[in-house]
Amino acid sequence: MLKRINWKRIFKLFSWVTCLVGLVVLMSFVGAKRDTVVCTNVKILIPGADNFIEREEIDAILRHSQGKLIGQKLTNINLHKIEKSITDNPYIAYAKVYADMDGVIEIEVRQRQPILRVINAAGQDFYVDRNGLKMPVSPNFTANVLAANGKIMEHFTGRVDTLVTKLAIDLYKTAAFIKKDTLWDAQIEQLYVNDKNDIELIPRVGNQRIVLGSADSLEVKMRNLLAFYKKAMPKVGWETYKTINIKYTNQVVCEKNKIDSLTGKPVKEKDSVKATKEEFEEKVRKQMEEDRRNGVNAETAGP
């Protein structure tokens, strides 16, 4: 007895073979076409509000890496090498480079996003980005971020690098916490490290020095501070306390300002930390002016 032919199975197999052959032919056609396609345009996208690097600097990196791109065959252009050259710049976190069959090379660049600016005990000035990496300051652009100074021993080599000391890591964690909270981002304007290696928070409203200590149990400490702000401050006033200590978990210890015997009001003492902040800002301004005079730019600052 003859077996019945499974035409449905044969048709399915034939369809797969046809698709495979068609795909091979198409890929061969694309490959042949790519061999003849030349670069007709270069599009550069740099999203974000920070302006550490401009289009002209990317153009300079491209010329140094591959020469003039427009007019070159795509097969002669090393897209991976272009990506590597761009990400070697200390202000760039990520770069994606690709080309289409019309000869257009598209480059998407993402800049590093600083969340903290540090002047260490040796006077070195650098940023810490959102990923906890140190990066150089720029003479062309100043990021509006939290400032940190005082007894900070973290060294900066001038290149993008990881944080080493626990104190610097704690400063980064604190800055990241403040950055993501709209209330604290509006209230805290500076981080200061005192002689006891405690982190202090310097507020915009009020003259208190808020002793945080370390970033251990940071969320709990800041929650305690918020509760103190809500319950105590409206009753006693913003000028009553000189120091608010939240370094110990589940405790808020305060030191009152001296009271003027004549007026009965708290005596406003000169805040040496805020004076230091003014010195910090002045140093930053002078450093930027010196960099401009010396012709320092983002491209030469890279590794």
Residue 33: pLDDT above 60?
A: no
What is the structure's pLDDT at 301? 39
| Domains of the chain and CATH, by start | 41-111 (3.10.20.310), 114-285 (no CATH)
pLDDT by residue (tens digit) across 130-162?
999 999 999 888 999 999 999 999 999 999 999
Confidence of residue 6 (pLDDT cuts 50, 70, 90): low
CA–CA distance, 191 with 213 (Å, rounded to integer): 11
Mean pLDDT for all residues in the chain: 82
Query: Taking Cα atoms as reference points, which of 221, 196, 135, 132 lies closest to residue 169?
Result: 132
CA–CA distance, 129 with 160 (Å, rounded to integer): 10
Query: CB–CB of 158/175 below 8 Å?
Result: no
CA–CA distance, 214 with 237 (Å, rounded to integer): 27
pLDDT by residue (tens digit) across 260-296?
444 445 555 545 455 455 555 555 556 556 656 665 4
Confidence of residue 220 (pLDDT cuts 50, 70, 90): very high
What is the structure's pLDDT at 145? 94
Residue 29: pLDDT above 70?
A: no
CA–CA distance, 165 with 296 (Å, rounded to integer): 29
Query: CB–CB of 201/183 below 8 Å?
Result: no
Query: CB–CB of 6/14 below 8 Å?
Result: no
User: In terms of residues, how long is the chain?
Assistant: 303
Cα 84 to Cα 45, 68, 89, 92: the distances in Å are: 17, 17, 9, 11
Q: Best-predicted range by mean pLDDT among 2-6, 61-65, 185-189?
A: 185-189
CA–CA distance, 214 with 169 (Å, rounded to integer): 10
